[in-house]
Structure 1
Amino acid sequence: MRVFKRKGRGRSVRYTTSLESHESELLASMVASMSELLTEREESAPRDDLAELTGIRTGHSSAPTDATLGRLLPDFHRPDQDTELTADAVNGRLNAALRSVNEPKIIDAKLAASTTMLATLPDGGGDVALTEEEAMCWLTALNDVRLALGAMLGISEDTPDQLPADHPHAAHLDVYHWLTVIQELLVEATM
């Protein structure tokens, strides 16, 4: 992958780069896998009769048990953020209500960004030219894929920059770092 370059002005601005075929395929595979996770979460949400009547969609009221989905769809409020509320109140009622109302919209936004990224990835590699809106979708999808991969790998401040070549997650960590570089390059181009 090459550096993202900003070309044009105003509405004609494009963010351009070129991807090798394996880069395009890897991005497509990772974004599609993440989208499947989000779609499964959305489809497994309980159906509510009142929501059906009013047209107001509701989602799960409980956090995902899967670490990857938990990172993509975290709680809205943590007990350490408010000393006046008890942990039970926050983790129970407040987070459940916020999640139920907002999770469908969050999933929709993440899936829309993923769909845009998949639609603008060159099949088999090649040139990429993104509008401002498409670039923002790429940034969202890249961030989500990084979060998902980071959760699967258990990335923390203590994670080394590189793992021994024979470590089972060495290649995955390299991909995580590569995604970070792509995201940084696109952020720099959009600034």
Structure 2
Amino acid sequence: MRKWKRVETADGPRFRSAVAAHEAALLQSLAQSLLGMLEERESSAPADELEAITGMRTGNSTPPDDETMKRLLPNFFRPQTEHPAGSTAAESLNGALRSLHEPEIINAKRDAAQTLLDTLPRDGGKFELSEDDAHAWAATVNDMRLALGTMLGISSDGPDALPAEHPMAGHLDVYHWLTVLQEYLVLGLMGKNR
């Protein structure tokens, strides 16, 4: 992956870069996996009889069981203190907010991932993004990093490396590569890497 080049045009900024064929295949695979996880979560939502009447779609009111999906779809509200008995008010608020907003959040994540897939050259090569497309890429790459980082157990304490025999050792390199890709793109969006 080359750095992103921001080019000012009459139609607004454009963002140019290039990917190798193996990088394009990796991004396609990660984006399709992300779409699959979102589809699975969305399909687990209970049927809503009022949707036909109100036009408002609702989703799950409970957080995902899977740690990766919990990271992608976190609670909206965290109680100020962690009480051993739990916080009924916080749980109730989170359930209501999740039910109302999770479908929109999933749609936004799905649209961003699809934009990445639609604008990524299938076999690698040079490409150019509009500003909206670049924002979609940044959001999707962030979601891929969050998902992969959760699977790898990455926190502020690491790990910076995994033993070569670890079954996920190669995935840590992918995580670092996504971090660099995202950083360069964000700098481009900020106009800091011309």
Please classify the TM superposition score into its range, dividing by the shorter chain length: over 0.9
User: Which residue pairs with 2:122 in the alignment?
Assistant: 123
Residues 1:37 and 2:43 aligned together = no
Could you tell me how far 1:167 is from its partner in structure 2?
Answer: 2.2
Could you tell me how far 1:186 is from its partner in structure 2?
Answer: 0.3
User: Which residue pairs with 1:182 in the alignment?
Assistant: 181
Identify unmatched segments of 5+ residues in structure 1: none
User: Which residue pairs with 1:103 in the alignment?
Assistant: 102
**What does 1:72-151 correspond to in 2, within 5 Å?**
72-80=72-80, 87-91=87-91, 93-151=92-150
User: Which residue pairs with 1:158 in the alignment?
Assistant: 157
Q: 1:61 aligns to what SS in structure 2?
A: coil
Identify unmatched segments of 5+ residues in structure 2: none
In the alignment, residue 4 of structure 1 is paired with which amino acid? W
Task: Give me the TM-score of the superposition, normalised by structure 1.
Answer: 0.93
Could you tell me how far 1:144 is from its partner in structure 2?
Answer: 0.5
**What does 1:23-34 correspond to in 2, within 5 Å?**
23-34=23-34
Could you tell me how far 1:96 is from its partner in structure 2?
Answer: 0.5
Q: 1:188 aligns to what SS in structure 2?
A: helix
Could you tell me how far 1:10 is from its partner in structure 2?
Answer: 4.8
The Cα RMSD (Å) is: 1.6
Q: 1:49 aligns to what SS in structure 2?
A: coil
User: Which residue pairs with 1:14 in the alignment?
Assistant: 14
Could you tell me how far 1:50 is from its partner in structure 2?
Answer: 1.5
The separation in 2 between residues aligned to 1:90 and 1:13, in whole angstroms, is 42
Structure richer in helix, relative to its length: 1
In the alignment, residue 169 of structure 1 is paired with which amino acid? M
In the alignment, residue 127 of structure 2 is paired with which amino acid? V
The separation in 1 between residues aligned to 2:105 and 2:10, in whole angstroms, is 29
Residues 1:170 and 2:169 aligned together = yes
Q: 1:141 to 1:81 in 2, by over 3 A?
A: farther
The separation in 1 between residues aligned to 2:38 and 2:62, in whole angstroms, is 15
Task: Give the ranges of 4+ consecutive aligned residues of structure 1 lying more than 3 Å apart after TM superposition.
Answer: none
Deviations 1:118-158 (A, max 9, x none): 00010110112000000000000000011111111111122
